[in-house]
Amino acid sequence: MTEIFFNTDFINLSIQDGILIVIYKKGPITLDIAKELVEVRLDFCKGKSYPFLVCDEGIGINGMDREAREFMGHGKSKEGIVAAAFQTNSAFNKYIINFFLKISNKTTHFPTKIFSNKKLAINWLENFVEKK
């Protein structure tokens, strides 16, 4: 298992077996913070694209303000993502993520799925890991 880690005040980033894992630690995430987090992720990935697992760890997408959520669904924020899985145990967060994906999927050109189980999310994302 290959692991590379990077931490900020708001998220933990890791690359594990070819999957980029983002764990949101705290909120609220404003538009300015969202822009900074996208830059951090892109720098961390060094231009390589990855399947992307987003774990809410309790703050969920509702820990982002509306402008930040909109930003995360468009443009530069989607660079370097080949597939995205969202893992949450909260029914409310699943509802919000589903709503968010319905809006942003009009411009998203990669598969997305929501999971309650992190292991199942990783298993699904393994289908998108670049084979060497």
H/E stretch holding 23 reads strand 19-24
List, for residues 43-67, the tens digit of each pLDDT value: 999 999 999 999 876 565 557 788 8
Gap between the Cα atoms of 63 and 98, Å rounded: 15
pTM: 0.85
Instruction: Delimit the domains of the chain by residue range.
Output: 3-128
Averaged pLDDT for residues 9-19: 92
Output the DSSP codes for 97-114.
Answer: HHHHHHHHTTT--S-EEE
Output the DSSP codes for 49-90.
Answer: -EEEEEE-TTT-GGGB-HHHHHHHTSGGGGTTEEEEEEE-S-
Question: Between 121 and 28, where is the model more confident?
Answer: 121
Q: What is the CA radius of gyration of the chain?
A: 13
pLDDT exceeds 90 at position 69: no
What's the topology of domain 3-128?
Transcription Regulator spoIIAA (3.30.750)
H/E stretch holding 42 reads helix 31-45
